[in-house]
Structure 1
Amino acid sequence: MPFHDTPGYPAGRTALLFIDPYNDFLSEGGKLWPLVSEVARSVDLHVHLRRISHAVREAGLPVFIVPHHRAEPDDFRGWDHPTPYQLGAARMQPFAKDSWGGDWHPEFAPQPGDIVAKEHWGASGFANTDLDYLLKQHHISHLILVGLIANTCIETTGRVAAELGYHVTLVRDATAAISAEAMHAAHEVNAPTFAHRVLTTAQLLHALCTPS
């Protein structure tokens, strides 16, 4: 698929951010899969992630993997004020270090040439990581966000990206959440306050291969 400059996606300045492509989120048997599976199936999540991943690599767009911290048992011992989200993670141990759940989903593992950012501890892929630095070093200004979860890591990373001056696109059927209500809040209520575009996979791929 040829990639052309478009009004929203300039060549050489557009990248895909794939957030948290772990087995625990995306594979049967993953610790978090039961929480997101109903919504994921309703939007054909895996189909759309495959289509986007293939299309952007074929087009030569860079792919940045934005991974959550891989859990270890004593992660938050001695912390002054871990968040409720982090305390829940301490109990469940999602993406546990050196575990199958903390491995990449085999279909969405980093490929040669992909860039893997430092692991984030909270919901933002930017906070306390090198993501912003890596993007700037690669001259990226336009971001397409896919992965998990719509109303946590996707939304928070997108909000921070917008605050940092990036053009942000969310893809409503290339993510999932624990409920339809959470998906609605993420895309219909919250996204218009920061995202430049909220598209379907079909709309995104059409935009990427349509010349300006």
Structure 2
Amino acid sequence: MSVTTYPAHRTAYLLVDPYNDFLSEGGKVYSHIEPVAKEVGLLDNLRKLDREVRKQDIPIFFVPHRRWEPGDYEGWDHPTPNQMKVLKVHLFERGQWGGEWHSEFAPKPGDTIVQEHWGSSGFANTDLDLRLKQKGITHVIVAGLLANTCIECTARYASEMGYHVTLVRDATAAFNSEMMHAAHELNGPTFAHAIVTTNELVANLGA
């Protein structure tokens, strides 16, 4: 893929599901993604991205998964397999530590928090598209968790909506290397305009 330029005031950083359950030791899912997260340097790369996008005044949109609470999914005709897992373990439980933002990746004044998504796409049944369009955004950089579910689905949906999409291959993680490979080598190239490392993205943003 050719080098991508990111137009000022038309680029946004979408940070998906930066919850303690995903990113902090003791989180309900962290132990499952820890090997991949450490291999790619996930936390350090998310820190680097946070510093750089704020330095460049790129707006940050928090794209949060639904925080589980009693009654969720019960009585549904056809909850997805992932929603059934959420129901089983109470992932991202509202009002509990696991459903809180990781302390280093919490929203700051001026950031946008969009409506919580019930499935894997940050766009479906939320106000993300509206909020982006109201700020004139045409390019989105997508990072966070998980590579082959919410990241892939949100980024694919963004491309369908007409946005220029960048995936950051080492600012995400998955349960195993095969899922990472599928997300970035098999599926990502079918919809993403750029698939880059954190360092490659930072260099382009700086330019």
Identity of aligned residues (%): 58
Deviations 1:16-68 (A, max 9, x none): 00000000000000001011111000001000000000110011010000000
Other-structure match for 1:23: 20
Correspondence for 1:90: 87
How far 1:195 sits from its partner (Å)?
0.1
1:113/1:148 Cα in 2 relative to 1: closer, same or farther (>3 Å)? same
Summarize the alignment of residues 41-120 of structure 1 with structure 2, pairs less than 5 Å apart. 41-120=38-117
CA distance in 2, matches of 1:162, 1:35: 29
Aligned to 1:169: 166
1:125 alignment counterpart: 122
Q: What TM-score do the two structures reach when normalised by structure 1? A: 0.95
Quote the offset at 1:85 in angstroms. 1.0
Q: 1:7: how far off?
A: 5.1
How many residues end up aligned between the 2 structures?
205
Q: Let me know the Cα RMSD of the aligned residues.
A: 0.9
SS at match of 1:172: strand
Deviation at 1:132, TM superposition (A): 0.3
Pair 1:198 & 2:192 matched: no
What's the offset of the Cα at 1:70?
A: 0.2
Paired amino acid for 1:163: E
What secondary structure, in the 3-state scheme, does the structure 2 residue paired with 1:78 have? coil
CA distance in 1, matches of 2:130, 2:81: 29
Q: For 2:97, what is the secondary structure of its paired residue? A: coil
Larger % of helix: which?
A: 2
Is the partner of 2:167 in helix, strand or coil? strand
Aligned residue number for residue 148 of structure 1: 145
Q: Displaced runs of 4+ in structure 1, greater than 6 A? A: none
- Secondary structure in 1 matching 2:107: coil
The amino acid across from 2:61 in the alignment is F
CA distance in 2, matches of 1:157, 1:7: 20
> Cα offset for 1:199?
0.2
> How far apart, CA to CA, are the structure 2 residues paired with 1:7 and 1:16?
15
Tell me the distance in 2 between the aligned counterparts of 1:20 and 1:59.
Answer: 22
Is residue 196 of structure 2 the alignment partner of residue 209 of structure 1?
no
Of 21, 36, 46 in structure 2, the residue corresponding to residue 39 of structure 1 is: 36
Note closer, same or farther for the CA distance 1:82–1:7 as it changes in structure 2 (3 Å cut): closer
How many Å apart are 1:74 and its aligned residue? 1.5
Question: How many angstroms apart in 2 are the aligned matches of 1:173 and 1:208?
Answer: 16
User: Separation in 2 of the partners of 1:12 and 1:198?
Assistant: 21
The amino acid of 2:124's aligned partner reads: A
Q: Work out the CA distance in 2 between the residues paired with 1:179 and 1:108.
A: 23
8 Å CA contact 2:4, 2:194 repeated in 1: no
**Residue deviations 1:96-125 (CA, integer Å, cap 9, x gap):** 010000000000000110000000000000
Partner SS state of residue 101, structure 1: helix
